Structure 1
Amino acid sequence: MFRIRFSIFLSVFVAMVGLMIIAPVMPPLIRELGLNELHSGIIISLGSIAMAVMAPVWGRLSDRKGRKAVIVIGFIGMFVSYVLFTATMYAGLSQLIGGGLLVLLLIVARGLIGMFIPAVPSAAQAYMADVTDEKGRAGGMAFIGAANGMGLVLGPAIAGAFALIGLIWPLYIGALLPIVALLVVTFLIPAQKPVIQEKLPKVNPFQKGLTLYLFAGLATMLSIVTLQVVGGFYFQDQLSLTTKETARMISVGLMISGVAMIVTQGLQMKNPKWQPKPLILVGSLLVIISLSLFLFFMNLMVYYVAFFLFGIGTGFMMPGFMAGSSLAVGREQQGSVAGLVASVQGISAVIAPILSTSLYQLDKHLPFAVVGVLVILMGMTLLFSNKEKGYTTQRHL
């Protein structure tokens, strides 16, 4: 069991690092290529759209073809996509290509990365559901959540470290990591037979017992992405910081939040007694408190406390909505529901940047206020929801 869990953890971690390692170097690389911010936005957004669209496809495919096969395909696709993306960047920096062709190739390559990355977490989450029972499901999903959180924290850090050698070096690492993970998965994860032998109806995201957990996932991911996108602007304006002070402050804050998230999920793995609903409700309360601290105080230390509470809160909510979604369907649909969960994350990555920056232009407090209202609405809906039955009884939820 250890080698399976280690392989799943590494797979999800590498997929998240592959996603995050691009973000810190994209703005300077775009400037070096002579392109503008609009080009960067289009390239990144289309990649996120590809993630949202393909995640359910990979999830269903893992039900039919097996979890390991889809993870392997995902890593091979990530490697090829990263090689194409890196080669295109190199050609642009070397002035071998430029203009519309350069933009087109970057869009295609980033789109391919977005297409293949969700294959890994979708199949990995379904695999974890296969090897855990109902009582241990939240702990298993906390394991995946910890891998997500670690990738979220270390991805930009790895990018920053290798960017000291050269701006394009993080992309080299992005191409190398899938090969390392592919070797680990190939030799350590045993192949499983597909869980279904014939085509079943697609999982309906609006079916009873599932919708609320997907809603919880959307609220969680919108909260995380909103803080990442507008946090720098907000804290600079609130505390009248310089750009260097802002970069330092937001880096420390996100690091505190990421570490809190990882530790919280690590504790859940060792003591997986809590079930999805209480995990989400407690996490929601902590997230609301942290957003309130962001909104109603103008003090650096208070903000660091808020980052810490935010990390704990999202550390509860992530395994909560993952496990809740998994328990809402049967064994033969775990891949499909894992794909929906990954799709929610991709949708958040598309919506949050546009929505949060637009709201910020109206009033700097609006992004956090709107996210806070969304989390409250989600928490209240979950708290007062009828005791619905999916494939598990409410006492398990």
Structure 2
Amino acid sequence: MNSGKRNSRTLQHSILLMAVAATALGQTLVFTLLPSLGRATGMAEMEVGLIISCSALVFALASPVWGTISESMGRKAVLVIGLTGYSLGTLLFALVFHAGLNGWITGGLLVGGLVISRMLQAAIMAATPAAAAAYTADITTPEQRTQGMGRIGAANNLGTVIGPVSGGILAAITLVFPLYAVSVVTGLMAIGTACFLPASPQIRAKAAPSLLQTLKKGLGAYADPRLRDLLMTGVMLFMSFALIQQTLGFLFQDHFQMSPQAAARTLGITMMAAAITSLSGQIIVVQWLRAPASLLIAMAVPAIGAGAVVLWMAEAQLVMSGAVLLIGLGLGFGMPAIMSLASLRVGHEEQGRVAGLASACPALGFILGPLVGTGLYTLDHRWPYLLVMVLLIPLSWLAWRLVRRSSRS
């Protein structure tokens, strides 16, 4: 490869990874702040869970559709649309919360405004992960696919590291200020992507399908038998994570009598540490040791299971945080493996659709996870973590099937 092509490939990877990191930064920051913002505006735990669940449902439906659109419109255009939508959607979400904190809107009107603004944001920002994963598939060979998707996962974890730290620091100004900062960062990233990202080398569809055809093809990915086991595995992985992430902030407030601001900082530090663990695992195991996707899946399940057991039994804050590190490590192994295996099961003409489906796995896990988790939390503070342990039974079976299928191929 000559130096010109090498420099172009480096630029492609760098901008892609920065776009993914910026989106992950915003997502993690929101998840970290929501329990504290909810308490500060007088919302119940399940109302906070409702915000995440509704937006996750919209994201899950939109993600494979945007992936399908990228096959004719191009990955770059869809990526810019997603980043722009994230920026504007976060701004709207922040304005609604700002009104709630000042008492201008309260009760059902506040909850409704937050749900609607977050759903509108999710409908557009779903374009970003799908286009980034499809772009990565375009510029990697099948042999490089797991490492390529691992880089996407590493960028996601980098954003996850920066998000809680920056959120905790900026929340000292006001609880809602970090949301305004995220809107600015993703807006600048949209401009940078539009100006500097080269077009993807994909083979585009000759003619753009109609809206009905696009919806049918995109949503039809959910019924594709080639991807069913991967979809179920990804959903259970992220549902387990959602059950923990969306209740831990409340647990810190109730079990350790923390203020909303202190709980936001503590949860932010915990999630940052989990992201660092996940990032380290991806760099060492995925990039350096080049572990196959089947091995990554086999390592992910016991890590999450061990974390859930420790979290269910723990009383000390440090031990709880250590349990979350194990869960972060499991996710760090699991998600690149699912994205890689999904990409390798289809041809180049389906990469966008499949990338959208794989990118929807986190959102699908967050549809039920926050609602079920916060609902169980109101009954008993440890029940969400007991449910994660129960989910490990079907998840272990699915992981075993994936490993066995990979060994046969």
> TM range, normalised to the smaller chain?
0.7 to 0.9
In 2 relative to 1, CA 12–236 (structure 1 residues): closer, same or farther, beyond 3 Å?
same
Residues 298 and 403 of structure 2 are in contact (CA less than 8 Å); yes or no, is this contact kept in structure 1?
no
Match of 1:164 among 142, 167, 172: 172
Q: Report the equivalent of 1:266.
A: 283
Q: Report the equivalent of 2:297.
A: 280
Q: Report the equivalent of 1:378.
A: 395
Matches within 5 A, 1:1-397: 1-26=9-34, 29=37, 40-90=48-98, 104-192=112-200, 195-198=204-207, 199=209, 201-202=217-218, 204-232=221-249, 241-243=256-258, 250-268=267-285, 270-271=287-288, 273-296=290-313, 302-361=319-378, 364-384=381-401, 394=406
Aligned partners of 1:316 and 1:385: how far apart in 2? 14
In 2 relative to 1, CA 106–208 (structure 1 residues): closer, same or farther, beyond 3 Å?
closer
In 2 relative to 1, CA 242–77 (structure 1 residues): closer, same or farther, beyond 3 Å?
closer
Secondary structure of 1:277's aligned partner: helix
Task: Name the TM-score, length of structure 1 as normaliser.
Answer: 0.85
Q: CA deviation at 1:297?
A: 5.5
In 2 relative to 1, CA 167–294 (structure 1 residues): closer, same or farther, beyond 3 Å?
closer
Task: Extract unaligned runs of 5+ from structure 2.
Answer: 1-8
AA of the residue aligned to 1:243: M
Residues 82 and 127 of structure 2 are in contact (CA less than 8 Å); yes or no, is this contact kept in structure 1?
yes
The structure with the greater share of residues assigned to helix is: 2
Aligned partners of 2:227 and 2:55: how far apart in 1? 26
Secondary structure of 2:30's aligned partner: coil
Aligned partners of 1:234 and 1:32: how far apart in 2? 16
Q: CA deviation at 1:81?
A: 2.3
Q: CA deviation at 1:331?
A: 1.2
Residues 54 and 115 of structure 1 are in contact (CA less than 8 Å); yes or no, is this contact kept in structure 2?
yes
Aligned partners of 1:250 and 1:33: how far apart in 2? 19
Alpha-carbon displacement from aligned partner over 1:196-239 (angstroms, at most 9, x marks no partner): 225585553343442221122112211221221233566788xx
In 2 relative to 1, CA 135–17 (structure 1 residues): closer, same or farther, beyond 3 Å?
same
Secondary structure of 2:224's aligned partner: coil
Aligned partners of 1:290 and 1:316: how far apart in 2? 14
Residues 86 and 168 of structure 1 are in contact (CA less than 8 Å); yes or no, is this contact kept in structure 2?
yes
Q: CA deviation at 1:15?
A: 1.4
Aligned identity (percent) is 30
Alpha-carbon displacement from aligned partner over 1:311-331 (angstroms, at most 9, x marks no partner): 322211111111111112221
Q: CA deviation at 1:173?
A: 0.8
Q: CA deviation at 1:190?
A: 1.0
AA of the residue aligned to 1:125: A
Farther-moved stretch of structure 1 (5-14 vs 200-209): 200-209
AA of the residue aligned to 1:351: L
Q: CA deviation at 1:126?
A: 0.8
Task: Name the TM-score, length of structure 2 as normaliser.
Answer: 0.82
Residues 65 and 194 of structure 1 are in contact (CA less than 8 Å); yes or no, is this contact kept in structure 2?
no
In 2 relative to 1, CA 305–116 (structure 1 residues): closer, same or farther, beyond 3 Å?
same
Secondary structure of 1:191's aligned partner: coil
Coordinate RMSD, CA, aligned = 3.3
Residues 83 and 128 of structure 2 are in contact (CA less than 8 Å); yes or no, is this contact kept in structure 1?
yes
AA of the residue aligned to 2:175: L
Residues 135 and 275 of structure 1 are in contact (CA less than 8 Å); yes or no, is this contact kept in structure 2?
no
AA of the residue aligned to 2:372: L
Secondary structure of 2:142's aligned partner: coil
Aligned partners of 1:113 and 1:50: how far apart in 2? 9
Alpha-carbon displacement from aligned partner over 1:180-200 (angstroms, at most 9, x marks no partner): 211321233211355322558
Residues 76 and 131 of structure 2 are in contact (CA less than 8 Å); yes or no, is this contact kept in structure 1?
yes
Aligned partners of 2:244 and 2:114: how far apart in 1? 27
Task: Extract unaligned runs of 5+ from structure 1.
Answer: 389-393
Q: CA deviation at 1:269?
A: 5.2
